[in-house]
Amino acid sequence: TQLLEQSPQFLSIQEGENLTVYCNSSSVFSSLQWYRQEPGEGPVLLVTVVTGGEVKKLKRLTFQFGDARKDSSLHITAAQPGDTGLYLCAGRISGSARQLTFGSGTQLTVLP
């Protein structure tokens, strides 16, 4: 059983469309991170959110941490082919040690 469930698992859209990826858990997280992984490479950190209700923007990407710190979302506006990749959420459970728990991932394909 995954502690962090991501949905959808696969997403294929046309360039210019908007999309939202979700990361949900029944556990409370002290912080949550989003990574992007491109083919043949390791994941690279996009953002860290630490406060319930926090919203962070990174150009066309908007990240939100749920008020109860059990869920997060990633919204991409006007997707581009360069956004294609595997998006992973990762969190540190409140009160736990230093390791991260990773979600199952969302494979995004943006078609030109």
Partner 1 sequence: DVKVTQSSRYLVKRTGEKVFLECVQDMDHENMFWYRQDPGLGLRLIYFSYDVKMKEKGDIPEGYSVSREKKERFSLILESASTNQTSMYLCASSPPGGGGVPDTQYFGPGTRLTVL
Place of tokens 């990574």: 35
**Token representation of residue 93:** 């459970």
- Subset of 37-66 contacting partner 1 (CB under 8 A): 40-45, 48, 50
- Please, which of residues 18-37 interact with partner 1 by CB under 8 A? 30-31, 33
Q: How far is the CB of 88 from partner 1 (least distance, A)?
A: 6
In the complex, least distance from residue 12 CB atom to partner 1, rounded to whole angstroms: 16
CB of 102 to partner 1, least distance (A): 4
Cα(80)–Cα(68) distance, integer angstroms: 32
Task: Find the shortest distance in angstroms from Cβ 71 to partner 1.
Answer: 16
Sheet (strand 61-65) strand order? 5-7, 19-24, 71-76, 61-65, 55-58
Stretch 63-102 residues interacting with partner 1 (CB under 8 A): 88, 90, 92, 97-100, 102
In our burial notation (b when 16+ CB lie closer than 10 A, e otherwise), range 35-54 reads bbeeeeeebeebbebeeeeb
Q: Which residues bind partner 1 (CB under 8 A)?
A: 2, 4, 6, 9, 30-31, 33, 40-45, 48, 50, 88, 90, 92, 97-100, 102-105
